[in-house]
Amino acid sequence: MCRLYLVSTLFLLLLGVAAACQTVPITGRSQLMLLPEFEEMRMGLQAYQEILSKSKVSHDPGLNDLVTRVGTRIARATGRLDYRWEFTVIEDSKQVNAFALPGGKVAVYTGILPVTRDEAGLATVMGHEVAHATARHGGERVSQGLLVQVGLAATQAAMATRDPRTVQQVTGLLGAGAAVGVILPFSRAQESEADHLGLIYMAKAGYDPRAAVSFWQRMEQAAQGRRSPPEFLSTHPSHGARIRQIEQWIPEAMQYYQGSR
């Protein structure tokens, strides 16, 4: 019975994988997508509204105009006019961050603005965040999480006749192995891909992609003194690795850059 369950699960999983292959724009990377885009966008909108309800949204006209202007130019460069793009400034000087959710919901924390310094620096940030949305990285992470859960469930079913403590130890190790060996590197790959796409988007929008190097150098300086996990246990590449990759992609991005618009 357990063996039959395992075979059935794997068979259905393989069918789902075969039917759910998508391609990331520009990079052309194949990705597994088990979540329909409309559902991903619904979840993104729900999460966005929840975050904003718990945050102090800025009503500073200057900051909102800046973020909306840069964000709109970046969004147009993506070609995803079907997204309902929305750009919000959140007042939080301690959050040196920004985020994007599926469907084009983007927020920038005021804490990152001293590091962005100018429109090109802000375009670096927003290009990166917008790229997460257009590449559907959120849905891809959900899909991979589902895949890992199915694998662990199948392992438990296959070992059902063994000692419960052994089953728990094995599935626990598999879960940890999946996190360090698959999910975290996968997240780092997504971050690098967002950097790559973001460079192209900011160049298409008329922002000099070479400004991205200066921005990430400032981010590296701002991060000095903060404790961070080793890169192999982090969802993000190290600043040094990130800067080196961006420098390699700049010649490609410059082909799209035609100066300020």
Domain boundaries, the chain: 2-254
Averaged pLDDT score across all residues of the chain:
79
CA distances to 89, 103, 177 from 152, rounded to whole Å, are 40, 31, 11
Residue 258: its pLDDT value, please?
85
By C-alpha distance, which of 261, 130, 151 is closest to 199?
130
Q: Which of 71-85, 128-142, 223-237 ranks highest by mean pLDDT? A: 71-85
pLDDT at 82 over 70: yes
Point out the residues that are catalytic: 129
Residue 181: its pLDDT value, please?
42
pLDDT digits (tens, 9 = 90+) for 29-75: 888 888 788 888 888 898 899 989 999 999 999 999 999 999 999 99
Q: Average of pLDDT values for 204-231?
A: 85
CA distance 119 to 124: 9
Residue 147: its pLDDT value, please?
63
Residue 160: its pLDDT value, please?
52
Residue 130: its pLDDT value, please?
94
Give yes or no for a contact between 83 and 104, defined as CB atoms under 8 angstroms apart: yes
Share of the chain above pLDDT 90, in %: 45
By C-alpha distance, which of 185, 173, 197, 187 is closest to 142?
187
Residue type, 96: V
Q: In b/e form, how buried is each residue of 217-245, taking b as 16+ CB within 10 angstroms?
A: ebbeeeeeeeeeeebeeeebbebeebbeb
- The pTM of the full predicted model, rounded to 2 decimals, is 0.76
What is the pLDDT confidence band of residue 234, given thresholds at 50, 70 and 90?
low
Degrees (nearest 5) of the Cα angle 199, 205, 210? 40
